[in-house]
Structure 1
Amino acid sequence: MDEDLQSLTRDQLIVEVQRLRAGIRVHRDSSGHELCWHHPDLWALLPEKSDPRPSVPEWPQFLRGCIRYRQSLDAQLPEAPRNGKEFGED
C-alpha cells in the first residue's frame, strides 16, 4: 500500500512527513464544535484516493454516538476547559 515511499528521496520523504504532520496538527487542534465534523481533508493526505463519504447512521443512533463521544471526553479529559458556545458562534 505504501510502495510509493520506496521511490522517494530523503528530501522528498522529509517534505512528505512535514505535510502529514501539518495535517495531523490541524485535526489535533480541532476544538469545540469542530470535534464533531467530517474531516475529508485529513483523509486526503493519503496517496490513495477514495470516496470519503461515510455511511451515516440514522438520527437516533447518531445522537447516541455523539453523546457517548462527549461522555468519553469527560472521562478522558476531565480537566479540559468547557465553553457554552453554540454552533456557529465565533
Structure 2
Amino acid sequence: MDLDDDLHGLGRDELLAEVRRLRAGIRAHRDSTGHDLCWHQPQLWGLLPERVEPDVAVPPWPRFLRGCVLYRESLESQLPNAPVHDREYGA
C-alpha cells in the first residue's frame, strides 16, 4: 500500500499548496519552545492524509522522568547558548 498514492492525482498548484501546508506544520513544530517541546504532537501527525489513532505507549513515571531529564541534558549539550524559558507550565 502506497501511503502517498493521493499525490499522483494532484496538479502543480495542488502540490504547491500541500507543500506549503506541510511546511507550515513543520515550522510550527520547529518553533515550539519552553514546555511545548515536551508534548504529544497530534497536530503534526494530523498533517498526514492517513487518519490513524497513534498506538502510544507511555513509560512508567520513573522511566518517563529519566527520559525527560536525558532530553533536557541533550538540549543543554546541543544548544548550550539557548535562552532559558523560566516559567511554570500553564503560566
Common fold by TM > 0.5: yes
* TM-score between the two structures when normalised by the length of structure 1: 0.94
Structure 1 residues not aligned, in runs of 5+: none
Larger RCO, structures 1/2 (Cα 8 Å, 6+ apart): 2
Deviation at 1:49, TM superposition (A): 1.0
Query: Does the alignment pair 1:58 with 2:41?
Result: no
Distance (Å, rounded) in 1 between the aligned partners of 2:26 and 2:80: 23
Moved over 4 A (4+): none
Please tell me the root mean square deviation across aligned C-alpha atoms, in Å: 0.9
* Residue 53 (structure 1) shift: 4.9
Number of matched pairs? 89
Q: Is residue 2:63 matched to residue 1:71?
A: no
Structure 2, unaligned stretches of length 5 or more? none
Distance 1:4 1:45 in 2: 13
Compute the TM-score of the two structures, normalised by the length of structure 2: 0.93
Taking only the aligned residue pairs, the percentage that are identical comes to 61
Q: For residue 52 of structure 2, give the secondary structure of its aligned residue in structure 1.
A: coil
